[in-house]
Amino acid sequence: MFVEIDVTGSAVALLGAKERTSRVARKYAAGQTLQVEDASHLADLAPVSLAVVCVGEQDAATRDEWARSVRQHLPGALLTFDAEQPAPASGMVFLIGAGPGKAGYMTARALEALAESDVVLIDHLAPAADIASWAPGAEIIDVGKVPGKHKVPQRDIDRLMIEKAHAGLKVARVKGGDPYVFGRGTEELYVCEREGIDVEVISGVTSSIAVPASAKVPMTLRKVGHMFTVVSGHSELADAELDHLAGFIKLGGTVSLLMGVRTLPHTVAGLLARGVEGQMPLATFENVYREGERVTFSTLAKAGTDLADIKAPAITVIGRVVDAGEPADEAAACRRDALLAQALSEGRAART
Ligand code: SAH
């Protein structure tokens, strides 16, 4: 007999050992799943629409026992059985980029991987609120930096990831943006490879581009900017790096500066000292897609005052393309019109 049941929004109790109920949970992701390992807890459950006994076919006695308990304690629930095998012995790791922080930027592949994961190790900048519904069968471990609290050290994250994968589990390592853009993606891949653990890298939408785009700031624009680069401002930029960036910006390059709040005064002063014009537009994007979101448009010359109180996490974009962003006032609207007129003008665009 084949019966299709719509469990959307319904309470679904998954009964049996955690290794089995976790595997089954993803099938009922549309419902509110409750995993119950101990039959003595059944009486305390709120009304349940469907009870799924997750026990192997060979263990008929345990199945019958669960079925009896369901009839006794959950008389209103439909009863069904699911004999899906527990996780195979070889676990693996999905290295997932979760985008800039808005649920909709998760890729379809990332959602597929989460749905089949047994454990999720999630970072601070990833969209945590929805993880439980994307990975209904998984244990969720927050290893991210939370302001004021201790971050889990990298070696402990590595150890957890390896332990869980060696235990035969599918581990989703979820990071903000793209794992290969200042995300320690390769370091974690290497740790797994050394242990003989398979890894699938799932690219994410990097905040270095998506965050500026949230305020309509592009990275390239025909006839205005034909190259862009992503820079870490975690440590002060060296003189040689500033020399290169200054030249790059003068030639129409766009810089997306990540982790650069603390070092911004040094970066700005270094670029001005190397002859980048004070009128060069710049914009800072703080906490985009989360509480405290703020976008500030300024120029290199005015950055010292306009950006004095910005807070991490933030991205600063420097380059002429910034003027193409959402205009903050009338003067900005005029600059935008002029820039777009240049970009849309007839004639060949040199290399853009
Ligand atoms: N792998 C990530 C970047 C990690 S570095 C990616 O590809 O996006 C962390 C830095 O990213 C932060 O310090 C900040 O500069 C930037 N960032 C990430 N998400 C952000 C957001 N929603 N708003 C502002 N800055 C963000």
Residues 22 and 96 in one domain: no
Closest-lying ligand 1 atom to the alpha carbon of residue 207:
8
Whether residue 214 is found in the same domain as residue 199:
no
pLDDT tens, 236-281?
Answer: 999 999 999 999 999 999 999 999 999 999 999 999 999 999 999 9
Q: Is 146 contained in some domain? A: yes
**255 three-state secondary structure:** strand
Four-CA torsion 186, 220, 267, 284, nearest 10 degrees? -90
Query: What's the CATH number where 265 sits?
Result: 3.30.950.10
For position 147, what pLDDT does the model report? 53
Does 47 share its domain with 96? no
Q: Distances from the Cα of 337 to the Cαs of 112, 146, 327, 340, in angstroms? A: 43, 42, 10, 5
Query: How far, in Å, is the centroid of ligand 1 from the Cα of 234?
Result: 12
Query: Do 50 and 122 share a domain, yes or no?
Result: no
CA of 265 to the centre of ligand 1 (A): 19
- In terms of domains, do 326 and 219 share one? yes
Do 147 and 110 lie in a common domain?
yes
Confidence (pLDDT) at 4: 79
What is the domain range of residue 178?
92-205
DSSP3 helix / strand / coil % (the chain, rounded to 5): 35, 20, 45
What domain count does the chain have? Answer: 3
One domain, residues 233 and 249: yes
**Could you count the other beta carbons within 10 Å of the beta carbon of residue 284?**
23
Cα gap 1→115, rounded to integer Å = 27
Give the end of a domain, one of 153, 170, 205.
205
Cα–ligand 1 centroid distance for 207 (angstroms): 5
Point out the ligand 1 atom lying closest to the alpha carbon of residue 286: 24
- Whose alpha carbon is nearest atom 5 of ligand 1? 182
Asked, for residue 223, whether it belongs to a domain, the answer is yes
What pLDDT shows up at residue 351? 55
Q: What is the pLDDT of residue 346?
A: 78
Ligand 1, atom 13, residue with closest C-alpha: 259
> How many A from CA of 102 to the centre of ligand 1?
12
Range 302-326 burial, b when 16+ CB lie within 10 A, else e: ebeebbeebeebbbbbbbbbbbbbe
34, part of any domain:
yes
95, 154, 184, 207, best to mutate for ligand 1 pocket (most atoms within 8 Å of CB): 207
Q: Position of tokens 């990332």?
A: 110
Residue numbers of the chain with a pLDDT score lower than 50: none
Same domain, 121 and 240: no
What pLDDT is attached to residue 44? 87
Domain-located, residue 286: yes
- Please give the number of the atom of ligand 1 that sits closest to the Cα of 285: 24
**Do 239 and 139 have their domain in common?**
no
The single-letter code of the amino acid at 128 is: A
pTM comes to: 0.79
Distance, CA of 339 to CA of 28 (rounded, Å): 52
Q: Which of 184, 205, 226 is the last residue of a domain?
A: 205
Question: Both 157 and 216 in a single domain?
Answer: no
The answer as to whether 313 is a domain residue is yes
Residue with tokens 């009839």: 71
pLDDT value for 151? 75
Closest C-alpha residue for ligand 1 atom 11 = 258
Type of residue at 158: D
| CATH assignment at residue 160 | 3.40.1010.10
Q: Kindly give the number of the ligand 1 atom that is closest to the alpha carbon of 175.
A: 1
Q: What's the pLDDT score for residue 25?
A: 82
313 C-alpha vs ligand 1 centroid, how far in Å? 6
DSSP characters for 277-321?
-TT-EEEEEESTTSTT-EEEEEETTTHHHHTTT--SSEEEEESGG
Pocket of ligand 1 (CB under 6 A): 100-101, 125, 175-178, 181-183, 206-208, 211, 258-259, 285, 287-289, 312-315
Say how far residue 232 (Cα) sits from the centre of its chain: 18
Residue 214 is assigned to a structural domain of this protein: yes
The string of pLDDT tens digits covering residues 120-173 is 999 887 777 889 999 998 999 999 855 556 678 889 999 999 999 999 999 999
Same domain? For 214 and 197 the reply is: no
Bridge partners (DSSP) of residue 296 are 284
State the distance from the centre of ligand 1 to the C-alpha of 141, rounded, in angstroms.
20
- 162 and 228 in a single domain? The answer is no
For residue 56, what is the domain's CATH number? 3.40.50
User: Going by CA atoms, what residue is nearest to atom 2 of ligand 1?
Assistant: 177
Inside any domain, residue 50: yes
| Residue 352 domain-assigned (yes or no) | no
Q: What is the pLDDT of residue 152?
A: 83
For ligand 1, atom 6, name the residue with the nearest CA. Answer: 177
Enter the tokens of residue 91.
Answer: 């676990």
CA distances from 55 to 14, 27, 163, 209, 264 (A): 10, 15, 25, 47, 58
From the list 92, 82, 20, 14, the residue with the least C-alpha distance to 48 is 14
Identify the domain boundary among 159, 184, 205: 205
Q: How far is the CA of 89 from the centre of ligand 1 (A)?
A: 36
